[in-house]
Amino acid sequence: MLNNSTVNSMVNDLQVAMQALPAGRVIVSDAAGIDVIEGLLWITDDSNQDFVLQPGEQHRACGRMVIEALAPARIAFTLHRQPAPQAA
């Protein structure tokens, strides 16, 4: 079970960040995508489209996202991969 702290882990070479949001919280994210574990989210991204997501749904971002928790939510962000360091 997820807790309310932010947890980072490596999953299949993608970095995933879990976060809990109380109802009414608005955040801005540059993540590559978002998965709703629990709750209800309203998302607007750089495509200027609005999306309402329920548990089990996901959104792959088109640029920056503005995310509002319409109900208490737990979410998983898929972060952009960091480029591998190049040898000197």
CATH of segment(s) 16-78: 2.60.120.10
pLDDT at residue 10 in the model:
39
Nearest to 73 by CA among 16, 4, 17, 11: 4
Using CA atoms of 39, 40, 42, 43 in order, give the dihedral in degrees to the nearest 10: 50
Contact assessment for residue 18 and residue 2, using Cβ atoms and an 8 Å cutoff: yes
Report pLDDT digits (tens) over 11-47: 445 577 899 999 999 999 988 899 999 999 999 988 8
Report pLDDT digits (tens) over 41-61: 999 988 888 999 999 999 998
Report pLDDT digits (tens) over 57-74: 999 988 899 999 999 999
Task: For the chain, give every domain's residue range.
Answer: 16-78
